[in-house]
Structure formats: C-alpha cells, structure tokens
C-alpha cells in the first residue's frame, strides 16, 4: 500500500457540539493541541474565527495499529503514517450563542456530540444542539461520553443508558458512543479510529462552481502600519464546493447597501484573491475542508469587525439571488428544546418576528403571511440563497431565541 501524501489543507470539517462546560474545547485541545479560545492570536495569524477552529492529522502506526495524532506511536514508538487531515469547528455551548452555533453548523460535514458522564443526560443545550444537527441534515455523528474519569462504573453505565434513550429515533440513533477523558487524553485513539470510520470525507466534485460561506471578516493591519505595507481585507470561512485559486476574481453577496437617488438596494462586491491560507499554511488553491483565510484587494474598511459575516463568495455571475423576502415551507418541532420545561410549539403566525439562519447568515424576519406550513417572510437583512436551501427557524421564547424547526426556501 502506497503511503498517502501529507495534505496541507484539511479535507473534512467536524463540529464539536454539546452543552456548555461538557468539554468541547478541552477535547479540541486534546486532539489538536490548540486552545481555540485564544482569539488574541487572530492578529498574529491574520485569520481565526470566533467559532473556535483547529486542525489535526490522523495517523496510524503500521506496527501495532494504534491511531494517533503524533508522528511517533505513543505505544511502540514506531514512525506513524499519515491518514487524513481534519478540521474541528468548536462551537460555543452557551444557550445565548445558539445563532453562532447554527452558523458553525453550516460549515460541518460531521459532528462530535460531547456529553459529560457526570451529569444527567440530556442537558438543555445537548438537546438543542442535536436538534440543530438534525435540522441542518448533519447525519455523520459520533457521541463522546466525556469526563469518564469523574464517575464510577455504575454511573457511567447509567449515563450511557440515558444517552441511548435520548438519541433513540433521532439522527444520532446509530452513532457510536465512546467514553473518554479529554482532560487526561484517555481513549483518544479510539475516538480517532471512530472519526476515520464514521465521518468519511465527502466525495467532492473538483469541477463544481466554487462557493464559500463567510464566517468572519477582518482587517489585519495594525495601527501605525506604513502605507506601503497595508494589506487588503481578509475573509474567513469554509469552502462548501469547488476550488478557489489565488488570482481568481470573486463576487461577494449580498455585498453592501447603497443608495442612489431615492432608491436603496444591495450591491455585490467584487475583488480578487491575492492569498489563500489554512491556518498558518499558505495555499495556491483551496478546496472544501478546514477554515480558509482569503486575502483580497478590498479596502479593509469593508471587512473589519466581521462586517461580511454571513456573506456568500463565488466566481462572478455564479451566485444565488439576493433575497430581501422569502417564502418557506416550514417543518416545526413538537416542543421547544433547550429549555428545562418543554413548551409546545404553536404554528407560525402572521406578523410574528423570527430569527433565521441560512448558511453563516443570521437575520430577523417578519412573517407577512402565514398559511398552514407556508410562510412569506420579509427579511431585515437580505440573504443570498438558492431555492431548496434550508433555513433554521428560531422563535422568541421568554427572553431567548429558541430553535423551533426549519424551513426550505420555495421562492
């Protein structure tokens, strides 16, 4: 068997999801060596995301068969072989950051649902995050039973049964459940094998029209920079199809709001790709996988402070329409997840305000007409979307937005 060539860029995105404080960031650290919560590195690298992001290599020992992320086998010290580079999207687990989680979920090819063994299952955000995976159609899932070092065997078994009961009838029904301790990096090798087995790299069409969701955008110039050293704006996000190359002309939608005469409309931005990066690695071209930094020739005024988050990038003339109103066919859950007491979900009402997530975009919308499961919605911010795209729907419940279901765009 020929040795696989080591890749510069990840080929698959795996989300870390679950309730707050169940160990998602610690698990990301155990797998990648990166604390994704250190966003002060953003400037140093020129690219990072508020959704935590980190890569690792999955390797295997040719001697004893152990899976590892290290160049040398932790068991028998033999040199390991490269299998795949994967990227982890660490999403916030706090209930107030559900919109960020939904943005992150749109970048995932698979997910690891992290559940703490020392807490009853399910916790509110465990439910909400699993529901989000279901709504967004992310069906390659591994369940990690974390903090196994803090419970005895009986508690672990009880927790395991709670997990099985919880995922019965859901998209994660057949997901493997792997006990680990992220803190002590115990059983990480079993998890790596499961990732290889259960979250395969999707088949990608390299000739597909390139498209990217923008998760963040930046100005990477520091105060005091001399004029000759100024860099253009940077986009950070995930490529969902096709291949982008340095030198490509690109279009960014919805773009910017312009007023000409007394008419206001949204105008796409165009620019050129001057650099591509995956973490610290410079690329000449980039395919789906990992978080990609795209350097452009735009005025950084347009990209600073995540101004272009939620945008869609593609070659000029290839992007979906900019929509300021949409018609959706809704599929609502029976009950609100994410709260302690589950409330029954009422049908959509004309005049109701919703929060909608499409790709990495988040926008409010007012229902102008609700009839059965069809709703016409006027959007506060426009989106760039195809007919058939999925929209996550959240409704205000108490003082929080709660996920209540999804819709597909019909017009």
Binding residues for Zn(2+): 61, 64, 73, 76
Selected binder of another protein within 42, 185, 299, 306 (CB under 8 A):
299
Q: Which residues pair with 285 in a beta bridge?
A: 245
Number of residues that bind another protein (CB under 8 A): 26
Minimal distance, residue 245 CB to another protein, in Å: 17
Instruction: Select the span of 50-58, 86-94, 293-301, 324-332 touching another protein (CB under 8 A).
Output: 293-301
Q: Can you read off the two tokens belonging to residue 204?
A: 């990608």
Q: What is the DSSP string of 20-80?
A: TTSSHHHHHHHHHS--TT-TTHHHHHS---SSEEEEEEEEE-TTT--EESSSB-TTT-PBP
Smallest Cα–Cα separation from 58: which of 76, 48, 44, 70?
70
Q: For residue 175, what are its two tokens?
A: 């997901």
In this structure, what are the phi and psi dihedrals at residue 159, rounded to the nearest 5 degrees? -65, -40
CB 89 to another protein: min, Å: 28
Other Cβ atoms within 10 Å of 306 Cβ, number: 15
> Please, what is the Cα angle at 225 between 221 and 231, to 5 degrees?
40
Binding residue positions for Mg(2+): 21, 25, 46, 48
Q: For residues 368 and 234, what is the distance between their CA atoms, to the nearest angstrom? A: 37
What would the two tokens of residue 199 be?
Answer: 């979250």
In this complex, which beta carbon is closest to another protein, that of residue 203 or of residue 222?
Answer: 222
Residue 224 interacts with another protein (CB under 8 A): yes or no: yes
Among the listed residues 154, 168, 222, 263, the single contact to another protein using CB under 8 A: 222
Q: How many C-beta neighbours within 10 Å does residue 140 have? A: 19
Contacts of 195 (CB under 8 A, 6+ apart): 14, 58, 86, 112, 142
Q: Which of 30, 302, 333, 356 binds another protein (CB under 8 A)?
A: 302
The rounded distance, in Å, linking the Cα atoms of 207 and 196 is: 25
Q: Is 270 in the site for another protein (CB under 8 A)?
A: yes
Write down the least CB distance from residue 224 to another protein, Å. Answer: 5
Q: How far apart are CA 25 and CA 94, in angstroms?
A: 13
Question: Is residue 301 within the footprint of another protein (CB under 8 A)?
Answer: yes
- Pick the closer one to another protein by CB: 180 or 220: 220
Q: How far is CA 289 from the centre of its chain?
A: 11
**Which of 157/265 has CB closer to another protein?**
265
**For residue 232, cis peptide bond before it (omega within 30 degrees of 0):** no
Indicate the residue among 289 and 295 with the shorter CB distance to another protein: 295
- Which positions from 230 to 269 touch another protein by CB under 8 A, shown as an x/- string? xxxx---------------x------x------------x
Candidates 57, 128, 219, 248: give the one binding another protein (CB under 8 A). 219
Q: How far apart are CA 133 and CA 113, in angstroms?
A: 10
Binding residues, by number, are: 21-26, 46, 48, 61, 64, 73, 76, 146-149, 181-183
- Establish how many alpha carbons lie within 13 A of residue 200's alpha carbon, considering only the half-sphere containing its beta carbon: 4
Collapsed DSSP state (helix, strand, coil) of residue 128: helix
Q: Which range, of 74-82, 198-206, 294-302, 389-397, touches another protein by CB under 8 A?
A: 294-302
Q: Which two tokens stand for residue 203?
A: 């088949």
Q: Is 223 in the site for another protein (CB under 8 A)?
A: yes
Residue in 227, 260, 341, 399 binding another protein, rule: CB under 8 A: 227
Q: How far is the CB of 338 from another protein (least distance, A)?
A: 38
Which residues share a beta bridge with 391?
A: 407
Among positions 203, 228, 263, 340, the unique one binding another protein when judged by CB under 8 A: 228
Q: How far is the CB of 104 from another protein (least distance, A)?
A: 27
Among 8, 183, 272, 285, binds another protein (CB under 8 A): 272
**Candidate list 18, 46, 104, 300; residue touching another protein; CB under 8 A:** 300
Return the number of the residue (258 or 387) whose C-beta is nearest another protein.
Answer: 258
Q: What is the DSSP letter of 175?
A: -
Q: What is the sign, positive or negative, of the torsion defined by CA atoms of 124, 129, 135, 140?
A: negative
3-state secondary structure of 393: strand
- Minimum Å distance from CB 307 to another protein? 10
Binding map of another protein across residues 137-176, x = CB under 8 A, - = no contact:
----------------------------------------
The whole-angstrom separation of Cα 167 and Cα 73 is: 35
Closer to another protein at the Cβ: 183 or 272?
A: 272
Q: Which residues of this protein are in contact with another protein, per CB under 8 A?
A: 219, 221-228, 230-233, 249, 256, 269-272, 297-302, 304
């Amino acid at each position: 068997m020929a040795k696989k060539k080591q890749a510069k860029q990840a080929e698959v995105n795996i989300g870390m999801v679950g309730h707050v404080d169940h160990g998602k960031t610690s698990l990301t650290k155990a797998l990648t060596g990166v604390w994704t919560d250190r966003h002060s590195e953003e400037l140093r690298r020129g690219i990072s995301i508020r959704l935590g992001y980190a890569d690792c290599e999955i390797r295997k020992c040719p001697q004893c068969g152990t899976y590892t992320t290290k160049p040398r086998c932790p068991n028998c010290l033999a040199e390991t072989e490269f299998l795949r580079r994967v990227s982890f999207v660490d999403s916030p687990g706090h209930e107030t950051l559900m919109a960020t989680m939904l943005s992150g979920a749109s970048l995932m090819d698979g997910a690891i649902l992290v559940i703490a063994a020392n807490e009853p299952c399910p916790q509110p955000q465990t439910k909400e995050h699993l529901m989000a995976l279901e709504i967004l159609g992310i069906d390659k899932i591994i369940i990690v039973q974390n903090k196994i070092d803090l419970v005895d065997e009986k508690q672990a078994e009880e927790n395991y049964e709670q997990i099985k009961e919880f995922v019965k009838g859901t998209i994660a029904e057949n997901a493997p459940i792997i006990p680990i301790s992220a803190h002590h990096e115990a059983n990480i090798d079993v998890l790596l094998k499961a990732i290889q087995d259960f979250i395969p790299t999707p088949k990608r069409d390299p000739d597909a029209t390139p498209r990217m969701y923008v998760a963040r955008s930046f100005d990477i110039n520091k105060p005091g920079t001399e004029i000759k050293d100024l860099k253009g704006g940077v986009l950070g996000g995930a490529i969902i199809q096709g291949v982008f190359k340095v030198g490509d002309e690109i279009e960014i939608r919805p773009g910017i709001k312009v007023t000409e005469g007394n008419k206001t409309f949204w105008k796409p931005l165009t620019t050129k790709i001057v650099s591509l990066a995956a973490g610290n690695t410079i690329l000449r071209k980039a395919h789906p996988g990992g978080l990609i930094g795209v350097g452009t020739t735009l005025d950084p005024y347009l990209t600073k402070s995540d101004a272009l988050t939620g945008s869609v990038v593609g070659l000029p003339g290839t992007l979906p329409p900019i929509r300021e109103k949409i018609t959706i066919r809704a599929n609502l859950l029976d009950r609100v997840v994410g709260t302690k007491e589950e409330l029954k979900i009422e049908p959509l009402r004309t005049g109701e305000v919703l929060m909608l997530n499409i790709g990495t975009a988040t926008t409010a919308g007012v229902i102008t007409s609700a009839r059965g499961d069809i709703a016409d919605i006027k959007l506060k911010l426009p989106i760039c979307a195809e007919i058939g795209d999925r929209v996550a729907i959240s409704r205000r419940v108490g003082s929080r937005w709660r996920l209540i279901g999804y819709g597909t765009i019909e017009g």
